[in-house]
Amino acid sequence: MRKRSLFALGSAVLATGAATFAYASLIERNLFTLRRFDVPVLEPDAEPLRILHISDLHMMPDQRRKQTWVAALAGVDPDLVVVTGDNMADPESLPGVLRALDPLLEIPGAFVFGSNDYRGPRWKNPILYLLPEREYVQGDANLPAEDLRAALTDAGWADLNNARTIIKAGGRSVELVGVDDPHINRDEYDTVAGPTNPGADLHLGVTHAPASRVLNAMSADGFNLLLAGHTHGGQVCVPLYGALTTNCDLPKSMAKGLHRWPGSDSWLHVSAGLGTHPTAPIRFACRPEATVLTLIPR
């Protein structure tokens, strides 16, 4: 009788595990979700301004459903589009990325790159992401980063990889500063650092990985809204607990969503992103997402 009970318990555990894996790999990772937040950063009496934040597409060539969903985001009528990197997951991904972004390229936009715009993918044990200290190993395949850069800049989007500029969006003057991916030490914020321009209506800092050294520097310079991706929101989360890792030094409680950056007046939005690493194509309790940030008066 005891053996029969243990067998039944083991069978139930295995069945639950299999069902959970099937849900995470076949269903939830395709449940693309649009999040919305109001961010009080504008001057009193200012009209709202909408930013569409997209991150971590990790596009594979055959992901037509994701491409169609992203392209339809033009319908939310954003004033500005910001893409925070890791767009590609395969050397043949570029056409799919551009198919997804094409309707958005008519809107003012800006971008930074992540490590998976330059190299990838390489198989890795997903358990390693839970280690607090681990060596990062770049993937083997070269990705067409320069072709993607040319396509976005030719459309008029601002390249913020270690760059700073002012653009017009929604009838406002928007100052932007960005860095190349801190996760692979390509960030050079010191080359673009300095106090914000008082003549601009809004000041945005943009990075792929939300490394504290970058966020601290941007907020100290007066950039009042910081945008990042990279974390995938934890990708596999525990209900009622949240992310197990952020894959950087960002606190796990800030793995996704809108937060005050500690010790500053700046807001930080971390996107959970729309994709997964191709060798770990699962999401659990962490739907793939893009976000509309409606900026409103303080």
User: For residue 15, is pLDDT > 80?
Assistant: no
Record the tokens describing residue 142, joined without a space. 């070269």
What phi and psi values does residue 36 have, to the nearest 5 degrees? -140, 135
What integer pLDDT is reported at residue 1 of this predicted model? 53
What phi and psi values does residue 273 have, to the nearest 5 degrees? 80, 170
User: For residue 241, is pLDDT > 70?
Assistant: yes
What integer pLDDT is reported at residue 11 of this predicted model? 43
pLDDT tens track for 47-79: 999 999 999 999 999 999 999 999 999 999 999
Where does the pLDDT of residue 13 fall: very low under 50, low under 70, confident under 90, or very high at 90 and above? very low
pLDDT tens track for 84-141: 999 999 999 999 999 999 999 999 999 999 999 999 776 665 555 555 555 555 666 8
User: For residue 284, is pLDDT > 80?
Assistant: yes
Q: Is CATH 3.40.50.920 what the domain over 31-297 is classified as, yes or no?
A: no
| Sheet strands (E) in the chain | 33-42, 49-54, 80-83, 109-111, 158-159, 163-169, 172-178, 202-206, 225-228, 237-238, 242-243, 257-260, 267-270, 289-297
Where does the pLDDT of residue 280 fall: very low under 50, low under 70, confident under 90, or very high at 90 and above? confident
Mean of pLDDT values over 179-187: 97
What integer pLDDT is reported at residue 8 of this predicted model? 45
What is the DSSP secondary-structure string of 151-200?
Answer: HHHHTT-EE-TTEEEEEEETTEEEEEEE-S-GGGT---GGGT-SPPPTT-
Where does the pLDDT of residue 278 fall: very low under 50, low under 70, confident under 90, or very high at 90 and above? confident
User: For residue 213, is pLDDT > 60?
Assistant: yes
Strands 267-270 and 257-260: antiparallel
What integer pLDDT is reported at residue 129 of this predicted model? 53
User: For residue 7, is pLDDT > 70?
Assistant: no
